[in-house]
Structure 1
C-alpha cells in the first residue's frame, strides 16, 4: 500500500515558510514523504536555498490564515492553506495534517472539514510534558476553556487509545487534575468527573492527581479543562527556559565554573533535550475524523521536523482507526 504524505501548512509560522521548508526537508531525509501546502513560488524559493535529493511535493494555494486572523475565517476561505491540508486528509491524499500556525484556525478547520469522531462532543489538544519517568500526556491544553465532565471522560478514552497505539503501552494510567489526591477534593467539574472516570472500563483510572504529579510522572495521562491545561503547559515551558538560563548563568559566572561547565556539557545537553519543547514537535488534536497536529508558531527547524515525524508515526500505526474503534465502543 502506498504511504501517504504528511500535509504541512507551509504558510503557518511566525517566521514565514523558510523554517517550515527546512524542517520538511529534514523530515524527508528520514524517509518521510512530505506535501508542502502553500504559495508555490515562495516554497520553491526556499527549497532552492537547500540543495537536497529529498523529494518534496508542493500543493499550491495562494491563501493563508495569519495569526491576526480570526479562527472563524476558515469557513469563508476554503483555499486557505490549513483548509487545503485538512481537505487532503479527508480525501485520502494525505495521512495527516500538520500546522505550526494559528491553533484556533487549525482546530476550526479540522472540525469544519473532518468532523468529530462518533461519540465525541468536543476535540481536545494533547501535549507532552517532560517528567521524571519520561513524559506525561496532558489534555486539554487549550481547545476548550469551559468543559463538562463527560468531555473529560471522552478525552481520557481517546488519550488512552492514542497512547496505547503510539507508545505500545497497554492500559496507560489516567489521572484527573485536582487540588488534592482525595476523591472528595476539587471543584464542581472534578467532583462530577471523578465517578465518571472511575466507572469507565476503557481506561485505567488512577484517581486524582496534583500539579506536582505531572512532573513526577505519577500517571501516563492527565485530563483537565483547556484553560487549566494551557496555563500548566505554558508555565512548564516558561519555567524550563528560566531554569536553563539560571544554570547557564551560574556555569559562566567564574573561571572555575566555566571549567566545570565543560566537564558537565554532555550531561547538560541531555537535560536540555528533555525539557526542549521542539523535541516533541507538535500536539495532537484528538476527537476529529483525521490526524491533525498543532505546533508552536515560533517553532524552529527541529520542531517542524519532529512534528512531521510524530504525525507520520501516528499515521503508520493507524492511530485514527484505533481511536474510532475505542471511542465507538465507549459510546455504545
Structure 2
C-alpha cells in the first residue's frame, strides 16, 4: 500500500512532514511517496539526517500557500505539491493522499481532480473528536458553508459508515446539531433535514442535539452544515487548549499544588492525550473517489504519522467503496 503525502502542506513543512512520513514508514510498513520540490526535500532530509532511501519522491516545484484562493489549484498552481499529489492519486499511483495544506484548495482539488463518488452531491470533511464516553465524528467541518437538507442527509449517511468502519461503533447514533432538542427547533434547513433524516432507514437517527451535550457522549455522529460545523470544531479545539492551559496554571500556583500535580500526573497525561488532535491524525474528505485526509495545518511529525495511519486504515477498510455502494443503494430505494 502506498500513501501519497504533500511534503509542502502546513505550517511545519517540509521537515515535520518528512519526519512523520519516515516514522509512518518505519512503524506501519506502508510505502510513502513525498510530493514537492525534490531538491528541497532531499536537502531538508540531509540536514536533519533523515534517510529517504526507501521513500519515493514525486517532483512538484510549486506550493499552494494558505493565502492563495482555493481555485488556484486548478489554474496557476497545477504544478503545486497538492495538485500533483491529488493527480497521482487519481491516476492510481497511490492508495491515499494526505495533506496539511489549505483546506479550501484541498476540497476543490479533490472534487475536480479525484472527483466525487457518483451520486454524492457534496463531499464533507469529518473530524473525530473526543468526548467523555468515546470519540465522535463531526461533519461537515468546513467543506460546504451553504448546504441543503439533502446534503445533510448524505453527510449523515457517509458519517455513519465512517463511524462504523473507522471508529468501530456498531449502529452509530446520528444526531443533527441544533439550538434545541425538540423536533420543531431550528431554522428551515434544520426542519427539512430533520424530516429527511428521521425517514432514512439505513441510519440510527436520534434527533436534534444541543452542542453543549456533545462532549458528554450523546451521539456518535454529529451532522451540521460546514459553516456551523467549522465553528463547533474551532471552539472545541480552543476550549480544549484553554482547559489544559488553565489546569497547568492552577497546579503551578504553589508548592502544594505542584505536589498535588505530581500525585495526579498519570491522569493529567491521559487527559492531555485524549484532548490532543494529533492523536486522531486528520480529517477525511468523505464523498470523493479516493481516500483524502486533511491533516491539521499545524501538524507536527506525530500528527502526520497518525494521519498516514488513518489513511492506511481507510484504504484497507474500503471506505470509498462502501460509501459508493451506500449511495447506489439509497438511489435504488427511492
| Shorter-normalised TM range | over 0.9
CA distance in 2, matches of 1:159, 1:53: 36
Deviation at 1:142, TM superposition (A): 0.7
Contact kept in structure 2, 1:165 and 1:322, CA below 8 Å: no
- Structure 2: distance between partners of 1:179 and 1:309: 36
| CA deviation profile, 1:133-184 (whole Å, cap 9, x unmatched) | 1211001111111110000001111111122222333321100111111111
Counterpart of 1:138 in 2: which secondary structure? strand
User: Which residue number corresponds to residue 13 of structure 1?
Assistant: 10
- The equivalent residue for 1:58 is 57
Residue 131 of structure 1 aligns to a residue in which SS?
A: coil
Counterpart selection for 1:27 from 17, 24, 29: 24
Q: Return the TM-score normalized by structure 2.
A: 0.95
SS at match of 1:59: strand
Q: CA deviation at 1:298?
A: 1.3
In structure 2, distance between residues paired with 1:259 and 1:62: 53
Q: Give the secondary structure class of the aligned counterpart of 1:134.
A: coil
Distance 2:231 2:84 in 1: 31
Correspondences of 1:1-332 after superposition (within 5 Å): 3=1, 5-30=2-27, 31-48=29-46, 49-52=48-51, 55-76=54-75, 77-332=77-332
Q: What 5-or-longer segments of structure 2 have no aligned partner?
A: none
CA distance in 1, matches of 2:49, 2:324: 40
> Tell me, which stretches of 5 or more residues in structure 1 are unaligned?
none
Flag the 1:186–1:321 CA change in 2: closer, same or farther, 3 A.
same
Contact 2:287-2:320 within 8 A present in 1 as well:
no
Deviates more, 1:29-38 or 1:143-152: 29-38
Pairwise CA RMSD: 1.3
Q: How many residues align?
A: 329
Which deviates the most, 69-78 or 234-243?
Answer: 69-78
Q: Deviations over 1:79-108 (max 9, x none)?
A: 211111111111111111111011100111
Distance in 1, matches of 2:270 and 2:54, equals 32
Report if the CA contact (8 A) 2:45-2:52 is conserved: no
